[in-house]
Chains A and B, each alone.
Chain A
Amino acid sequence: MDETLLWEIRAFVYRHFANTTQPPSAEETALHFALTHDEVVGAYEELQRRHALFLKPGMPDILMANPFSGLETPFKVHANNKTYFANCAWDSLGIPAALQVDAVIEASCAQTEDLIRLQISDRQIQSSNSLVHFLIPFKDWYDDLVFT
């Protein structure tokens, strides 16, 4: 597939996430670009190979395009009058960073399950005593990105 079209598909996926909180289906992407289903699946697989997005195992459905998650997760990001789902603690701040919007993040402490609520206004984050733990060192991130 043409490189320009490939990256236009990636941009379309991100716009769709931003506008709807969900990834486009392969059918929606095919319709938008006047492509066949197989051409879109091929593009999705190529974008996955380049770590630009990740598919559900064995399916043509987008699981994640960081920082967005295609599934509901415990990392909720309220912004743009919508609720987005992030893949992890980092990505929950990544969504307002990517969209450059104010946001309220609702998640929980991994140990106590107490609510952790963070607020971002005017590109500043409200002070918090909470912490973020990265378990996997950078060199291993792409061994198993879903786990990381």
Chain B
Amino acid sequence: MLFFQSEEALNEWLVSRNARQGAVLSISQLWELSQRWYQDRMSPDYHGRTIQEAQGIFRDLGLTSEFWQAYRLSQN
């Protein structure tokens, strides 16, 4: 996951690498996601999360496009 200073910079980067656009988040969206994803990471009780739990986080944050769907992962 990479930072870009603008959409224009991202588009230039995609063209230069002949890459397709994936998912684009604002910084505030990424901060929300980071807090949900990592808030319990330092806990001794954190033993990973299931794919359903991961998808639940994405869904709660409105990340529901195909990009955020898991079709074959069984464990995170």
Contact = CB atoms under 8 A, between A and B. Distances in A.
Interface residues of A, number: 51
Interface residues of B, number: 46
Interface string B36-68: 011101101001100000100010000000111
A138 B10 contact: no
B31 A93 contact: yes
A114 to B, nearest CB: 6
B25 A130 contact: no
Interface in A88-117: 88-91, 93-100, 107-112, 114, 116
Chain A contact residues, majority secondary structure: mixed
A136 to B, nearest CB: 7
Interface in A1-59: 7-8, 11, 14-15, 18, 50-52
A137 B41 CA distance: 22
Interface of A: 7-8, 11, 14-15, 18, 50-52, 66-67, 88-91, 93-100, 107-112, 114, 116, 118, 120, 123, 125, 127-139, 141-142, 148
Interface of B: 1-7, 9-10, 12-13, 16, 19, 21-28, 30-31, 33-35, 37-39, 41-42, 44, 47-48, 54, 58, 66-73, 75-76
